[in-house]
Amino acid sequence: MIIVMAKNATEENIRRAEERVRNAGLKTHLSKGDEVTIIGVIGDKKKIANLEMNMMDGVEKTVRITEKYKLVSRDFKQTDTVVDVGGVKVGGGNLAVMAGPCAVESYEQLLEAAECVKAAGANFLRGGAFKPRTSPYDFQGLAEDGLKLLQRAAKETDLKVVTEIVDKDDIDLIGTYADVFQVGARNMQNFELLKALGKVNKPVLLKRGLSATVSEWLNAAEYIVAGGNENVILCERGIRTYETFTRNTLDISAVVAVKELSHLPIIVDPSHGTGRWQMVAPMARAAIAAGADGLIVEVHPHPEKALSDGDQSLKPKNFARLMEEIKELNAFMRKHYGEN
């Protein structure tokens, strides 16, 4: 951390600021300019994280130069993490594709979806049994009944199950039926949920919050990893901007940023990220070309009948075409960038 002193800071101000730093068990390094004096703070990251200086007289501002997260950083571990989901690998050059309907509605719907996404080459079945909805009057999901249907359809088609968790009390219940816990955008900073998932022995798919910076997102992942669960998969799903043509603005550059800053695998959700089925395929291609480890895509056998998010669901034949393209692009990426 760097402490920038105000132009009119007195010698006494500077002395006291240095004293406060040293009292916190940290070292200072003073640098006096003609216009501005700065104090470099050196020492333990956690101590620096808790240091508050801005209220001191003569302090103009502080600038953090190191991130607070550690275990999830590329500095800490240089090689890509590969998350193993019962034999299916995510990260490290493996292509993970999670597909299925937004919400679980019936076994027929689910099985039909599962069969077509499996045939096209997906390796995970997605579907919501617990749905966090903006309005209390929207469809909230089938709960445990939905989980059972998910497990049954996935078993039938040899797919892994990924489904959303919205309440830490559901960990055991969902853990019985699912292979991956999905944490939605609205819960990215539900720290109690993250802490609870840190103690679990199953992978977690952590979606980026609606207006989370990459740094906040990695800090959220740090909560899970710091708890002992290293199997975190990140998922970019669009951020909130002023643009209204799309539901969200899918931030493909976050894939590149995460690859630089962290060793965790990252996939992309072009369905929520755009909110328009017409844009899913081109944005999925963009994600893979940028280096994403996979995709999570809404596919519905009859999207015009879907109970939620029909606007952004692909029909089976469009999904099949997308999978062809994606496999080819992944081969392109592997040729140029290897298996990591």
Residues in region 166-205 near its own copies by CB under 8 A: 166-169, 186-187, 189-192, 195
Q: How far is the CB of 24 from its own copies (least distance, A)?
A: 11
Report yes or no: 271 and 280 within 8 Å, Cβ to Cβ.
yes
65 touches its own copies (CB under 8 A):
yes
Q: Mask of contacts with its own copies, 245-284, x by CB under 8 A?
A: xx--xxxxx-xxx-xx------------xx-xxxx--xx-
Nearer to its own copies, 157 or 231 (CB): 231
Tokens 């559901």 found at: 170
| Nearest CA-CA partner of 128 in 64, 185, 59, 79 | 185
Catalogue the E-assigned strands of 65-173.
83-85, 88-90, 96-100, 124-126, 160-164
Q: Where does residue 303 rank: exposed (0-12), middle (13-18), buried (19+ CB within 10 A)?
A: buried
CB of 337 to its own copies, least distance (A): 10
Q: Can residue 317 be called a binding residue for its own copies (CB under 8 A)?
A: no
Stretch near its own copies under the rule CB under 8 A, chosen from 61-69, 90-98, 148-156, 175-183: 61-69
The token duo for 201 is 């022995």
Map tokens 């953090």 to a residue. 64
Helix (H, G, I), strand (E, B) or coil at 30: strand
**Measured distance CA(223)–CA(227) in Å, rounded:** 6
| Alpha-carbon distance values, 126 to 113, 146, 160, 172, 300 (Å) | 10, 11, 8, 19, 11
Q: In degrees rounded to 5, what are phi and psi of residue 40?
A: -80, 135
- Should residue 78 be labelled a site residue for its own copies when binding is judged by CB under 8 A? no
Which CB, 160 or 237, lies closer to its own copies?
237
Number of residues that bind its own copies (CB under 8 A): 109
Where does this chain touch its own copies (CB under 8 A) — which range of 66-74, 87-95, 106-114, 142-150? 66-74
**Does 68 sit near its own copies (CB under 8 A)?**
yes
For the bound state, the minimum distance from the C-beta of residue 302 to its own copies, rounded and expressed in Å, comes to 9
Taking the complex as a whole, the smallest distance from the CB of residue 65 to its own copies amounts, in Å, to 5
Find the shortest distance in angstroms from Cβ 116 to its own copies.
Answer: 16
Among 306, 319, 323, 330, binds its own copies (CB under 8 A): 306
Q: How far is the CB of 108 from its own copies (least distance, A)?
A: 18
Residue whose pair of structure tokens reads 């019962």 in the numeric block: 86
Site for its own copies in 111-170 (CB under 8 A): 132-139, 166-169
